[in-house]
Chain A
């Protein structure tokens, strides 16, 4: 175990990669972090949002006069206020538009209608009660499968030419070839499955403080954003302000998980409130607002079909998806991928053919879809393929581990171009699975299960093997609203040899201040404690797209490594002048350049840094100082993988599932800080247990959100989680400068099917093939009775 073995960040530490305690922890354990809600500005006012109680209704009138008469109210902003400024609507990250404050209709429960600004947060809430909104309720579309029916209520009548609730059709793979393989296959299995709507629910909700400098007109915002630079650019476009007059600060962030990628309507309202009142304004949403209005995740209605030979060779996959995008298409993903990276549904297997068609629809639910550590929908893809493989194993009466081992890609097949065109960079899948099977004691588990079944006990063993595709991405085909997904990094070595690294991404808990210092330390051979990492402030850092999709290490981490190597190259020239030899005669070893064949003749980075700032006569090729920058445009995504094994016990009387063991073997390439990698995996495994067993954003037929608080939206606690058992294999990425792959979302992506496969395995004596998540006691009990529920509309 690496935890507790770390060295102090300000001590001698590892000169590079290895377990190391986090530099950021000292402020957090003392309660001295600075989250958005901790920021107080002189004269600051407080905002609150009035939200729609209806899922679908026409707005007849909004009367704010009583609220404005409240002695502590300084302003009320309505849709009409914004319309006058051309701000009633804003673009989404999927090139749709979204109402900032509703002017014509409300389209989901919890939608923003008005914004009150008052002296304190309680008064702002009081004044919401004083706003009189007259609504004319309309029939709501709450079932995605009814959204395209003739006569379905039209949600987006604001969009010119929009005739129904259709958003997009997208397909990938070869339909004809896939049909051909299916027609000839000895065995085919089909299954409908829902990946229900869930919510990332970071412990810190979303919020902002906005302030306008009355002299310069410069807008500074402190906001819960995972993408400060992208937000600044978008705000410049939306507000019509020059980009250099906007500073976006992302201070300490209490978890993101994709929830803090979009720009939310209340951000715009907060900024307008600051402009209108001339005073700083803080808005912080409460938990219900967070769960009901900010970006959800999943809501994919999938039909999977798998084709195979009778003896268990997997041949093809055919998939149809109905994607519920809510009332506005606000998915945050590369523009040319309307279904995200769902196209890697071919998973970890060598398929002859594959095809998938996705249809997106509008419903009267909150917008979003791409969030909750999903790696742009690979969560849904992995769930689909890993459930289908288990169903095939059931059909063939084969062991699911053996079936996977037989069909996994072989190391010799890498780089591997899958049937839908993605080029997997590296992996040793059979070994990764074998390490997991060994760690779990798989044969012994099967023996135990057989013995328990004899006694009528329900024990299940579930396996999932996932392939991730992270680090978006190559700018020629990946952009968000035209912004290519390359990241900058700037490294400066001070005269005395310590350094400052400015990065484009920021941390919401991933530990960038530590791991990025370790990257520089590894490349330059200086202690990580001597490297300050600056992030989360657009005035202080180079442009980049932000922290999501497990992209920080694959993209910005590469940028940092390349910048450090450029510093090293510069240092070589300076060292050659110091040692009066040709640069070609110098060799690098961590921390110093030395003369080939005469290792005593050397100069350390510290010595070189001072010389680079001195009066030394520098040769051609260096101007002085040791600064370098890089804009890293990744040549490909990185493809982490993992093998997960879950063991559950099910109470046949109540349907309660207990996760007894969970073995997770991850291969994310080179590990910069194994302690942090393991922590990331732990968190994702808890997500998987939560989604598989507890978490659900459901609605009743009238459009009321049934998951609007933590009393209804259940998250796993320490008693639902087992002690995680981790393992690793290391297959470096061949195209990443340090061989690393992203890992932040691997466990969230890979773990849900392992849990569900385990529960289905436990229920095998009852002939249960499939039941949708979340596998609550009620759902499991119903499955045992042969009547699993549809979980997204529990009242139907």
Chain B
């Protein structure tokens, strides 16, 4: 599969979950393992551009496809506006849900460059944050919408 623009080839057990492939095989530990039941979204990555919960997908199912993780979010050494927004608006505290939230935010902004608060809340409603009460995550995504080229 292609991960963050690089082709990766491995022989894996059929049962290996994508999240464990990304973390343990590729050493990309920015995506997190949080719940096993597709409820928390700490493991969200983009698969062919669409957010998926990588704890509920076999690594083999992603074979030949394109995966983007938080490590591939910035471009040319610059932070993505979403990343900048999370810093500017205090959109993270412990940081554990943050990569998954940011991947979904990127997907949303790619489709709806100027989302309403309600649309943002709906977009991240499959993901759990235990620290922020979501307020500043929503503001961070709004910030990114208002700064499409970053700060």
Contact = CB atoms under 8 A, between A and B. Distances in A.
A3 B130 contact: no
Given A203-B129, A509-B131, A723-B138, A3 B90 contact: yes
A650 B87 CA distance: 36
A122 B21 CA distance: 12
A31 interface: yes
Contacts of A38: 23, 29
A345 B58 CA distance: 51
B16 to A, nearest CB: 8
B96 A255 contact: yes
Contacts of A795: none
Nearest to A25: B87
B26 interface: no
Q: Determine which residue in A26, A32, A255 has the highest number of CB atoms from chain B within 10 A of its CB, and name it.
A: A255
A25 B37 contact: no
B133 A203 contact: no
Interface residues of B, number: 62
A508 interface: yes
B87 A723 contact: no
Nearest to A203: B96
B98 interface: yes
A35 B88 contact: no
A29 B98 contact: yes
Interface in B20-43: 20, 23-24, 27-37, 39-40, 42
Size category, A interface: 35 or more
Interface string B80-109: 000100111110111111110010000000
Interface string A325-354: 000000000000000000000000000000
A30 B90 contact: no
Contact of B31 (A31, A40, A120, A288): A31
A685 B133 contact: yes
Contacts of A284: 33
Contacts of A510: 93
A282 to B, nearest CB: 11
Interface string A682-714: 111110000000000000000000000111000
Given A30-B73, A510-B93, 20 more contacts: A3-B90, A3-B139, A4-B143, A25-B95, A30-B79, A31-B99, A32-B30, A33-B95, A35-B96, A122-B16, A203-B32, A252-B94, A254-B95, A254-B96, A255-B93, A257-B130, A679-B132, A682-B134, A710-B39, A710-B128
Q: Which 6 A-B pairs have the closest CB atoms?
A: A31-B30, A509-B94, A254-B96, A28-B95, A682-B133, A509-B93
Interface of A: 3-4, 6, 21-22, 24-35, 37-38, 40, 120-122, 201-205, 252-255, 257, 284, 286-288, 508-511, 675-676, 678-686, 709-711, 715, 717-719, 721, 723-724
25 contacts: A6-B88, A21-B90, A26-B87, A28-B95, A28-B98, A33-B96, A122-B13, A202-B94, A254-B95, A255-B96, A286-B36, A288-B36, A509-B94, A675-B90, A679-B90, A679-B132, A682-B135, A686-B132, A709-B36, A710-B39, A710-B128, A717-B128, A718-B121, A718-B134, A719-B122
